[in-house]
Amino acid sequence: QVQLVQSGAEVKKPGASVSVSCKTSGYSFTGYYIHWVRQAPGQGLEWMGWVYPNSGGTSFAQKFQGRVTMTRDTSITTTYMELNRLRSDDTAVYYCARARLGDFSFDYWGQGTLVTVSS
Amino acid sequence: DIVLTQSPGTLSLSPGERATLSCRAGQSVSSNYLAWYQQKAGQAPRLLIFGASRRATGIPDRFSGSGSGTDFTLTISRLEPEDFAVYYCQQYGSSLWTFGQGTKVEIK
């Protein structure tokens, strides 16, 4: 069965960086885009960008350009999202999600990783 | 970016009632790229509807999606206790994905 399993919660200070991993299994890793979506406490969903495991290509929402990196390691079917220069308003649950082929909706999601930014 | 506006913000209904949720786009959206998700507290979102009207695997037929252009609707024909949650619409266009702000369906 398809599974996306994320790394555990993180606490970071403002200005630091955080890396969240997303280990996938149960399907062809290089055949599907992986997206990252975040959700601040009590707020809605915010799309951050995607990584294509086949090529390593990426695309980001303008809001995060210059501050986010998304990479993959095909040997362990894992993608990573790194966010730099953290601010308090980056406190959120970060999700990875697999995009369906064709219509690009997100059919499988990780369990979420809480990142807390606090001095 | 295409802005999605969901209404109402909160819908207070009783089990067995019909729920109608609206998602309006700031400009035309391809029906192929309009999806709906359900999110319960402390859980990841779950895909309900893709392509505006197609149910995802395992989604009960009391959930249905419709609409085109700038106006889309998610209908839950008869609310079950497990349907009380927050619902989000999402669109893809011009290499960007956006979500609506969500509609909370709560027990009246």
- The three-state secondary structure class of B60 is coil
Answer whether residue B95 shows pLDDT above 90.
Answer: no
Residue bearing tokens 């709560």: B106
Look up residue B20 and give its amino acid.
T
CA–CA gap between residue B63 and residue B55 (Å, rounded) = 8
Whether residue A114 lies within 8 A of chain B, CB to CB, comes out as no
> Using one digit for the tens of pLDDT, what is the confidence trace for B6-48?
999 999 999 999 999 999 999 999 999 999 999 999 999 999 9
Backbone angles phi, psi at A63, to 5 degrees: -60, -30
A55 close contact with B: CB closer than 8 A = no
Tens digit of each residue's pLDDT (9 = 90 or more) over A55-86: 999 999 999 999 999 999 999 999 999 999 99
Cβ contact A106–B46 (<8 Å): no
Which residue in A has a C-alpha nearest to residue B101's C-alpha? A44
Non-local (6+) Cβ contacts of B7 within 8 A are: B21, B22, B24, B103
Q: Does A41 touch chain B (CB under 8 A)?
A: no
Interface residue A1 vs chain B (CB under 8 A): no
Residues B77, B54: Cα–Cα separation, whole Å: 15
User: Is the predicted pLDDT of residue A94 greater than 90, yes or no?
Assistant: yes
Nearest of A15, A62, A59, A64 to residue A33 by alpha carbon: A59
Query: Over 90: is that where the pLDDT of A23 sits?
Result: yes
Do the chains contact at B102 and A47, CB–CB below 8 Å? Answer: no
Yes or no, beta carbons of A107 and B100 under 8 Å apart: no
From start to end of B14-85, where are the E strands?
Answer: 19-29, 34-39, 46-50, 54-55, 63-76
pLDDT at position B104? 98
